[in-house]
Structure 1
């Protein structure tokens, strides 16, 4: 027993007792073995007078002053565990173990993706931000969407009704039901999804309908462009707002050649084979695509009339007798168009092994100063090199003659050339299997040749450049814009060997000019970059 001679302690005890009662009311009833902490109660002798034989009550009501001076004696049992102790908190490893488990799960998923290697099937890419910056219209369709990337955009919905008209016209002409095409494309869904970069968010039925609807629209355009009587042969009116309007057709062609606006070629092959009630043949649609996109060719030497006639007539003949301008099956329309541009293209001549070993220029770089193929036209002319037109329909087929003549095929530049080249370059930048990056090489070579509008004017006078732009300065700016943010390996270019010859000739004539200058024969002209020769030797590997 403990005697407490303090009113404050008694007050705390009473508060504790009240707390005990509250806790007991909230806890469930427990058996004798329940570890419920007890709070001691007041003993029966909890109140005793301070003096012997004195009652707790004050018999003298007038003695209040003495009561204040007295202390109350309280006898209590030893107070232990007055307040129930909280549940013990041990350090748990559960959150840490869960975190480690989630990391291992992510690593397992990454390993499965690595094993499947889905990147080998990619062929339709999103344009990198570095290439699209400031030039959205060159990569984003303005009139018609093809495929899932731009499907459902507000400004492109007007063309949807014409896609449904094309579907209705095709079904009426063939006598088929729509189920036949839906069921034919459904098994290709996963293969189609693997062709697109990133996750295609469209639901299964939505994607299949998009492929059938867009694919049918594309095939109607292709067939109308290759038919002898045009779209009237397919049942369309002469006044049709889409299938009979040349202005609309040019805009549609420009949209359909964009990298983000493609559907896989094997989908078009499957749909076209059903329309013709034939077995599916790879490459059948590719020949139609070449004829359809022929107006976009960057040359005024169009597809030869004989080849075009053979291609058109082969549509209704056996596949074995068809004219085949392509060595391999294409991936989509942009790839087919690129292959047709580069048919029978040259293979690059690699530099010497010792040069690849010791030179840093064999690394892909984005620095434009490291993309210098050749001097500009004005500087080449100062060294005695002239540019002449080469008669060929292959705009990339550039050659150099030992007597100092650079032969360049004619190129036609119109309002769609910029978008065409940008998408071709973007495809070569994104797709690892575009051999030699020939379009990129050609554009960078031309950008090196053209520095000013005077260079453009000279090439125009020589019959090399024909353009429908505002002035010559726009052409110079066009080539400069095409080469921005482009990663390029000089060693892989088909023009690297030719550039070495041109620059070797340039330096020999340049040294002769410098010698004549020092001898006093030439004092009236000072070139702009007389100190650039040594840098070019390092850059071009001489």
Structure 2
């Protein structure tokens, strides 16, 4: 009797437990799977260079919050956040901004791949503080630059080392808050745009552009000069169907600097040639000519009639940090069909194995090396490719690799290159060659004359 009476309670308890478990799974699913875009760098990548993924001055978002080495600079965020609140106090109070962030809280949490173990108030305060800091920083720099002020004190324009470190920190994959939060707070503060015309998209572009555009394009090239915000929107943010690309965060926006809105198709590596079997120096010794395409994007390469045309490659202190974080984002967020920066990095790895390869590219004007030592550049590029998953190949690159290998493996090109190198590479060698040919000709003529005279006798 007692057992019969206890059974319904036991079943109900199990139902409750199952329902609780299902609710927990649903909550976990909604937080971790729906639209995540901010990730911790996988340990297998992070161990290759910890510093390239770790902020050095300011933490943004939850992953590096509480980092003891960053606490001395927390006052920077407080200072800029307060300036933002003072700048916009006539439009909104801090409670208005906090209320908006609370409304977005669930959506913000879902943008992080892992659950964030923070209470609501602490989480909202962190997002609000970091969002106000970034917006005020961008607004301050933009207004100072456009007003041509000489008396400004803003970090990015007046204190270069600090400003450089801040910009570096703002594009790290682990150091992000969702772009829609920044845009939402900005729109609350400036409903018609900054100065009644500048959107947050444009504001972010104008702040990222001076630091990162010259790392991708030569400052003196036509490509760099025409890479305005309108060009960026038309060629990098507007999809072929007319829709606007959704920017997930500042790291993603930087990736859009590299990737045009209609990039080459990427196919599975098993269906296409995925690498080149010869390096830049080997191709040079085989007779391939290298030419720089200063006004082309990074995916626009040509190889025809023994000439390999490439866009300029700039290597400086930001190159490794940018490529590591963009590749990590692609590896975490996209499938292989969108491994565009990853493909670009593997192109460099295919061409460069030693300092001699770097030397050839520098001599031909294809690479600008601001690190100094060519061997350091080669080592950096080799390490960049380690532990990176490479599942797809850009069809442009795949076709290029086929052409490069065909050129390299053709004996005629090697014989021709050896001849040119040995007998035609300098004026003195050409003079010597003509002298030898002339001497040989005269000797041949003398021999023929001797034979003729012999027969006449």
User: Which among 240, 246, 253 is matched to residue 336 of structure 1?
Assistant: 253
* CA distance in structure 2 between the aligned counterparts of 1:346 and 1:324, rounded to whole angstroms: 10
What is the aligned partner in structure 2 of residue 444 from structure 1? 346
In the TM superposition, residue 420 of structure 1 has moved relative to its aligned partner by 0.8
In the TM superposition, residue 349 of structure 1 has moved relative to its aligned partner by 6.8
In the TM superposition, residue 228 of structure 1 has moved relative to its aligned partner by 5.5
What is the aligned partner in structure 2 of residue 27 from structure 1? none
Call closer, same or farther: CA 1:237–1:156 in 2, change over 3 Å.
farther
* CA distance in structure 2 between the aligned counterparts of 1:434 and 1:180, rounded to whole angstroms: 42
1:5-53 deviation per Cα after TM superposition (whole angstroms, max 9, x unaligned): xxxxxxxxxxxxxxxxxxxxxxxxxxxxxxxxxxxxxxxxxxxxxxxxx
Q: Which runs of 5+ in 2 are unaligned?
A: 1-10, 239-244, 423-457
* CA distance in structure 2 between the aligned counterparts of 1:227 and 1:124, rounded to whole angstroms: 30
* CA distance in structure 2 between the aligned counterparts of 1:392 and 1:229, rounded to whole angstroms: 27
What is the aligned partner in structure 2 of residue 412 from structure 1? 314
Q: Larger Cα Rg: Structure 1 or Structure 2?
A: 1
In the TM superposition, residue 258 of structure 1 has moved relative to its aligned partner by 0.4
What is the aligned partner in structure 2 of residue 326 from structure 1? 237
Residue 38 of structure 2 aligns to a residue in which SS? coil
Residue 128 of structure 2 aligns to a residue in which SS? helix
User: Which among 315, 330, 333 is matched to residue 431 of structure 1?
Assistant: 333
Asked if the contact 1:265–1:285 (Cα under 8 Å) also holds between the matched residues in 2, the reply is no
User: Which among 313, 336, 361 is matched to residue 270 of structure 2?
Assistant: 361
1:156 and 2:80 are equivalent in the alignment: no
Residue 495 of structure 1 aligns to a residue in which SS? helix
Q: TM-score, normalization: structure 2?
A: 0.76
1:461 and 2:370 are equivalent in the alignment: no
What is the aligned partner in structure 2 of residue 381 from structure 1? 284
1:253 and 2:164 are equivalent in the alignment: no
Higher relative contact order, chain-length normalized (CA < 8 Å, sep 6+): 2
Aligned length: 397
* CA distance in structure 2 between the aligned counterparts of 1:219 and 1:447, rounded to whole angstroms: 37
What is the aligned partner in structure 1 of residue 38 from structure 2? 124
1:288 and 2:203 are equivalent in the alignment: yes
* Higher deviation after alignment, 258-267 or 488-497: 488-497
* CA distance in structure 2 between the aligned counterparts of 1:427 and 1:115, rounded to whole angstroms: 21
Call closer, same or farther: CA 1:272–1:476 in 2, change over 3 Å.
same
Q: Which runs of 5+ in 1 are unaligned?
A: 1-96, 313-321, 351-355, 364-369, 525-542
Residue 121 of structure 1 aligns to a residue in which SS? coil
1:179-201 deviation per Cα after TM superposition (whole angstroms, max 9, x unaligned): 11001111110111111121101
Call closer, same or farther: CA 1:482–1:306 in 2, change over 3 Å.
closer
* CA distance in structure 2 between the aligned counterparts of 1:511 and 1:450, rounded to whole angstroms: 24
For the aligned residue pairs, the C-alpha RMSD in angstroms reads: 3.9
* CA distance in structure 2 between the aligned counterparts of 1:105 and 1:420, rounded to whole angstroms: 45
* CA distance in structure 1 between the aligned counterparts of 2:282 and 2:417, rounded to whole angstroms: 17
1:249-303 deviation per Cα after TM superposition (whole angstroms, max 9, x unaligned): 11111111000001000100110001113499xx942322222122223234357
* CA distance in structure 2 between the aligned counterparts of 1:456 and 1:516, rounded to whole angstroms: 20
Asked if the contact 1:460–1:466 (Cα under 8 Å) also holds between the matched residues in 2, the reply is yes
Call closer, same or farther: CA 1:311–1:143 in 2, change over 3 Å.
farther
* CA distance in structure 1 between the aligned counterparts of 2:77 and 2:379, rounded to whole angstroms: 37
* CA distance in structure 2 between the aligned counterparts of 1:423 and 1:207, rounded to whole angstroms: 25
